[in-house]
Every structure is written in C-alpha cells, then in structure tokens.
Amino acid sequence: MTTAPAPRQVATRRSPPNRRPQVICHDNLSNSHIVSELQQLHEDFTPTPWLFNEHAQLIFHSLRKGGRRSQRGTLLYDHSEQLVMRDGGLTALYWCGHDLSPDTPTIVVLHTISGSPESMAELVRDLSQFTGWRVVLCLRRGHADLPLLTPRMSLFGCTDDLREQLAVIRVRLPESSLYAVGSSAGSGLLVRYLGEEGDAAPFCASFAYCPGYDTDTSFDHVHPRYSRIMAKKLVRQFITPNLERIAHMPTAQRLNAADDLAMLHRALYELAGHDDYAAYDRASNPMHVFANIRKPLMVLNAEDDPVCRIGNLEPWLDGMRQMPNIILVTTAEGSHCAHYEGWLARSWSAKLMSEYFQVMRGLSI
C-alpha cells in the first residue's frame, strides 16, 4: 500500500544523504498519476551549497523573511482589507493578483506561527510567479499591525475565523477554484479545518508544509535553542503588548513568563477561549480530526527540520498510508520551511506546491 519506505531517522544520519525525495502514499491510480507528473519527485533535491546544514538554511530563511520589508509590502500585495469577525475580533486578507480574471484559480495561504504579510512575501511571490494564479494571505488575529480588539487569539488560529475569511473570498470570487497552503503552524490550522469540514472543504487540493503533527507533543521536541528564541519572540509580539487587555485571565502572567514553546502553548488555553488545556487541545489539535480529511492533500517534511521534528510523523505514518487522498513527501535535507536550492537560493518547496496544484487542476478540468 505504499510507494516508498518510511522516512530515515535523522539522528543517525551523518553520511552523505540520499537526496531523492521519499514518497509515501496509498497505491491507487490517482496517486500514481500525480506522482508520475511531478518531475521534482523523481530528481535529487540538492540544497544550496553555501547553506551547508539545517541551521544555515533556517537562519538564511529567517533573515530573508526580515529583509526588504517596505519593498515587499508596497510592491507585492495589490490589495488588503481588514475583516471584523462575529465576536468583534480583527483579521485581514492580503491579496496578490487581486484583479486577475474572476475564473483565475486562487491559492489561500495560511501563515506561520509569527507570520505577517512581510514574512510570507517570499512564498506568496513564488506561488504567484510559478502558477500565474491569484494568491491571498489570510492574516490571523494579532499578527502584523492588527490590534487585538478582543481578548481572544491562538498561535494556530481558529477554524471559525478561517471560515469567515473563506466566506468573504467565496462571495468575491464565486468562479475561482480554491487551493490552499499551510506553512508550519498554518499547516496545523489547514489540517484542522480540512478534518472538520471533510467533503465540504472548498479546496480542490491543499499542501501542508513542515507540519508538526500532534500539537500536544510537538512543541516538546523543538530544538531547545529555537524553542526559547521563538517563545520570547511570541511573548513580545502577542502577550506583553496586550497584558492590560488579558490581565483578568489567571493565565496572563504564565503566558508572559513562558520561556519555551511548550510552556507557552500549554498556558494559552484561556486566551484561545477555553476553560482548560484539555478543552483547548480537543478543539485545536489537527490530529484529532486528521482521519476525516477527504480532499487531496500533499504533505512535505524535511528529516533535518529542527523545529517540526521528523519523529513527530512516526505515530501517524501507518494511518496516512491507508488514506487514498494523502501524499507524503520527505526530503533528507531542507530544514524548517526553507528547502532552498541552487546558488541563488530559490525555493524548491514553492515550486513543488505550484506544480502539484497545476497537476490537480488538470485532473479537475
């Protein structure tokens, strides 16, 4: 029932890696056709030579996300709008190719744990250039310059907010076929939404990039240095500026004092609108509903990812092999949401996403 062996264990890999992507999926005609059409899956992925390991790839990715902010913000997105949610919370849509013809396909992008229009600009630009399609970034509460109007937010976002954002997109573009990319934490939101919606999900196909799988345990396995750095960044970005607004919550000081991602995640339940952590986990953990996904989904993980560890995949691997609509791709290298190739450090992963969507569009026409 599988087209390839399970991913290799990164911890024991020190010899030159096998650079051919590993593909794991149910053995059916549709998957065989999709995989055969994606040339990247039949060639080596060779990372950018001067990004010599997973840490170099990740640091370069972080620096590239932070650079040229004003240029990216003014030149890439041609339309943006803020949306007031039913409870008064504020989200936003950032468009690239807003005025393309109404029947042009649209790629919905769900961003990373601290994502912003600037930090997601590289992925949005690459998807737009590789496909020629419209791309819309769904910005979550509290991100970028959005004020936290209500004391409610989550690191992974909320599927109810996503439904409201998609309703706006659907009303605006009823003739446009929809595709979706979730990057890192955004993949958790995407998978949770796909599992909740089942056959009703509006996406023709989706792509989960560097997911962490079970959010109850995945933060425990993040490289300690990155866990501390990211937690401090998130506290500065979301918690400290809103302390007065959330001061009535017993968990407010725990959130403000969190010094790693696991601690922050486990203290977030009240801010996310739940009475305890168990309720928060039941309502947000993507793996509780993963088996309910019915629409096509490709998943990409790198075995050397120091943030979303490849070991997080292991408990779910057998189940994924049995799901006819899931294609899992792993690479020996690529780090976390990086996958840069060539001397100019271009995104191998964005090209794969784009080619996958184009193949899936060909199947639906």
- pLDDT tens-digit profile of 221-276? 999 999 999 999 999 999 999 999 999 999 999 999 999 999 999 999 999 999 99
pLDDT confidence band for 145 (50 / 70 / 90) = confident
pLDDT score recorded for residue 51? 95
Two structure tokens written together for 159: 């599927």
Place of tokens 């790693």: 260
pLDDT at 286 over 80: yes
pLDDT at 13 over 50: no
- At residue 363, φ and ψ (nearest 5 deg) are -70, -25
* Integer Cα distance of 225 and 202 in angstroms: 38
Q: For residue 274, how far is the Cα from the chain centroid?
A: 23
- Helix ranges restricted to H, the chain: 29-37, 54-66, 69-75, 121-131, 159-172, 185-197, 224-234, 243-246, 252-257, 261-266, 277-284, 317-322, 348-364
Two structure tokens written together for 251: 């968990």
pLDDT confidence band for 7 (50 / 70 / 90) = very low
pLDDT score recorded for residue 18? 77
Residue 321 to residues 1, 27, 150, 199, 325, Cα–Cα distance (Å)? 7, 9, 42, 19, 10
Over residues 294-329, the pLDDT tens digits come to 999 999 999 999 999 999 999 999 999 999 999 999
pLDDT at 8 over 70: no
Give the SS3 label for residue 346. Answer: strand
pLDDT at 71 over 80: no
pLDDT confidence band for 73 (50 / 70 / 90) = low
Q: What angle do CA 264, 56, 139 make, to 5 degrees?
A: 45
Contact assessment for residue 22 and residue 5, using Cβ atoms and an 8 Å cutoff: yes
pLDDT at 12 over 80: no
CA atoms within 13 A on the CB side of 108: 31
Single pTM value for the model: 0.93
Which stretches of 254-315 are assigned E, i.e. beta strand? 297-302
- When pLDDT is averaged across residues 3-29 and rounded to a whole number, the result is 67
pLDDT score recorded for residue 74? 55
* Integer Cα distance of 66 and 86 in angstroms: 32
Task: Write the DSSP assignment of 221-240 as a string of letters.
Answer: GS-HHHHHHHHHHHIIIIIG
Q: Which residue has the higher pLDDT, 258 or 73?
A: 258
Range 22-31 burial, b when 16+ CB lie within 10 A, else e: bbbbbeeeeb
Q: Bridge partners of 109? A: 137, 181
pLDDT score recorded for residue 10? 36
Mean pLDDT (the chain) is: 92
pLDDT score recorded for residue 75? 85
pLDDT at 161 over 90: yes
Under DSSP, the state recorded for 198 is: G
Two structure tokens written together for 44: 């080596």
Residue 229 to residues 31, 135, 166, 307, Cα–Cα distance (Å)? 39, 30, 32, 11
pLDDT at 67 over 60: no
Over residues 170-227, the pLDDT tens digits come to 999 999 999 999 999 999 999 999 999 999 999 999 999 999 999 999 999 999 999 9
Report percent pLDDT > 70 for the chain: 93
Residue type, 227: S
Report percent pLDDT > 90 for the chain: 89
* Integer Cα distance of 206 and 140 in angstroms: 19
Long-range contacts from 238-241, C-beta under 8 angstroms, 24+ separation: 238/142, 238/148, 238/153
pLDDT score recorded for residue 233? 95
* Integer Cα distance of 50 and 345 in angstroms: 9
pLDDT score recorded for residue 9? 40
pLDDT score recorded for residue 250? 95
